[in-house]
């Protein structure tokens, strides 16, 4: 059987996710892994969810176990709309779709807008799952560098002009503006407004991916980009993965009536409907007032972990490394001094039983060779201290070797 002849061009071009592959290596229980974007399993409210699940089975069992609508459970969409209005997003249940994780929403956006050869504009660095979703539609990805305030809007405008001139057909700008994965940075309000203005000027969609907004440790609240959208050109995506549990595979989109209608059609072929059972559970969990308490609990758990990681780096990392303390989210982004390639350093790190994700994985232009991403939510305090020591040693050894060669 000649499978390569049979595969579609699209499937032939698809590549494995670097992170999924890395996570396999890190299955070794002796490895301290800062690689995955995993919530801390000790945060999962197992007992409370047991009660919630019993309640759902007793009161809604027959509906919860049945197929649901493609758009999602109406009651849950109403609750999400109400919560979104507190974040200055004007939406009702009809503007919301419950998706099977934000990953499905990203894939749906790709399916909806990208013909082969069209361009999606992304950050340098950006979320790897976004890169994979958009690439699978045979699109070009054009990267815009970030600074401490997120995507560089000045470069964005120049790039859009160039893409249009060269007939590369830019369709949307993908941003993770709050506690960005992987860089941890927050885009200030002025830049959010400018982003919407630019999207208007060049008639583009903005895809705002916002899983981390509620995991805020010392950052004043900030309005989502969607709050500045009065034309319906922003598709907002968020998820229960980081604020409750990724195992539910529940996320949501907020978009205009027109975009929502089209997304529902695109989603239908993917799964008919998102898991109704978990939608009932999460809806009940929110209505009991448990989600907000849970979010407070996670922030209390993650903030000291972030602090511990940052101070352990200060103790153990070589002189000249850069890591700006993230004010929320789950990730610290580290850049090492000149001369280190963090992709090759990964092999040395694995020998010392410690893992991260190298910076190139998040760069669509092949850059990021001196950087890597560390997750601080998953590991125990002891693992954070020990892991930073091991990583610091690996980096220092690399630098020593380089000095000896020079
Ligand atoms: C920026 C970003 N978007 C989307 C996702 C995927 O989330 P979900 O579990 O909802 O598919 C993640 C997960 O790490 C993420 O960091």
Distance 103 CA to ligand 1 centre (A): 6
Q: Rg (Cα) of the chain, in Å, rounded?
A: 21
The predicted model gives 112-136 an average pLDDT of: 96
Distance 399 CA to ligand 1 centre (A): 34
- Structure pTM? 0.96
The predicted model gives 152-177 an average pLDDT of: 97
Q: Which ligand 1 atom minimizes the distance to the CA of 99?
A: 10
Q: Which ligand 1 atom minimizes the distance to the CA of 242?
A: 9
Q: For ligand 1, which residues put their CB under 6 angstroms from it? A: 37, 101-103, 127, 129, 176, 181, 209, 211, 239, 241, 246, 251
User: Each residue of 51-91: pLDDT tens digit?
Assistant: 999 999 999 999 999 999 999 999 999 999 999 999 999 99
User: Each residue of 365-401: pLDDT tens digit?
Assistant: 999 999 999 999 999 999 999 999 999 999 999 998 8
User: Each residue of 80-107: pLDDT tens digit?
Assistant: 999 999 999 999 999 999 999 999 999 9
- What is the reported pLDDT for 339? 87
The predicted model gives 304-332 an average pLDDT of: 97
Q: By mean pLDDT, which of 19-33, 249-263, 270-284, 339-353 is the weakest?
A: 19-33
Residue nearest (by alpha carbon) to ligand 1 atom 7:
102
- What is the reported pLDDT for 402? 80
């Amino acid at each position: 059987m000649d499978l390569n002849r049979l595969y579609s061009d699209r499937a032939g071009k698809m590549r494995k996710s670097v992170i999924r592959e890395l996570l396999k290596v890190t299955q070794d229980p002796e490895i301290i892994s800062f690689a995955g974007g995993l919530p801390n399993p000790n945060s999962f409210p197992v007992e409370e969810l047991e009660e919630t699940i019993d309640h759902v089975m007793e009161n809604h069992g027959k509906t919860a176990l049945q197929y649901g609508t493609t758009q999602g459970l109406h009651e849950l969409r109403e609750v999400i709309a109400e919560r979104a209005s507190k974040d200055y997003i004007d939406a009702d249940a009809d503007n919301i779709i419950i998706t099977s994780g934000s990953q499905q929403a990203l894939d749906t956006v790709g399916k909806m807008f990208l013909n082969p050869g069209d361009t999606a504009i992304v950050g340098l660095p950006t979320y790897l799952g976004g890169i994979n979703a958009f690439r699978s539609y045979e699109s070009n990805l054009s990267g815009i560098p970030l600074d401490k305030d997120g995507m560089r809007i000045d470069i964005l405008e120049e790039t859009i002009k160039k893409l249009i001139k060269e007939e590369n057909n830019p369709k949307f700008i993908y941003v993770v503006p709050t506690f960005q994965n992987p860089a941890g940075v927050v885009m200030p309000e002025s830049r959010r407004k400018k982003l919407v203005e630019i999207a208007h000027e060049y008639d583009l969609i903005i895809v705002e991916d916002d899983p981390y907004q509620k995991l805020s440790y010392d950052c004043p609240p900030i309005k989502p980009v969607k709050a500045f959208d009065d034309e319906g050109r922003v598709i907002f995506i968020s998820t229960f993965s980081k604020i409750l549990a990724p195992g539910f595979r529940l996320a949501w989109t907020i978009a205009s009536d027109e975009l929502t209608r089209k997304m529902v059609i695109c989603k239908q072929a993917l799964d008919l409907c998102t898991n109704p059972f978990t939608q009932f559970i999460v809806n009940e969990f929110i209505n009991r007032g448990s989600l907000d308490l849970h979010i407070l609990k996670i922030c209390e758990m993650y903030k000291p972990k972030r602090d511990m990681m940052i101070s352990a780096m200060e103790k153990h990392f070589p002189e000249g490394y850069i890591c700006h303390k993230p004010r929320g989210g789950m990730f610290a982004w580290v850049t090492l001094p000149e001369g280190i390639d963090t992709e090759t350093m990964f092999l040395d790190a694995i020998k010392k039983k410690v893992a991260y994700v190298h910076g190139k994985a998040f760069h669509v232009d092949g850059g990021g060779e001196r950087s890597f991403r560390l997750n601080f939510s998953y590991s125990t305090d002891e693992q954070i201290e020990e892991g930073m020591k091991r990583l610091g040693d690996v980096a220092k050894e690399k630098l020593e070797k380089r000095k000896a060669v020079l």
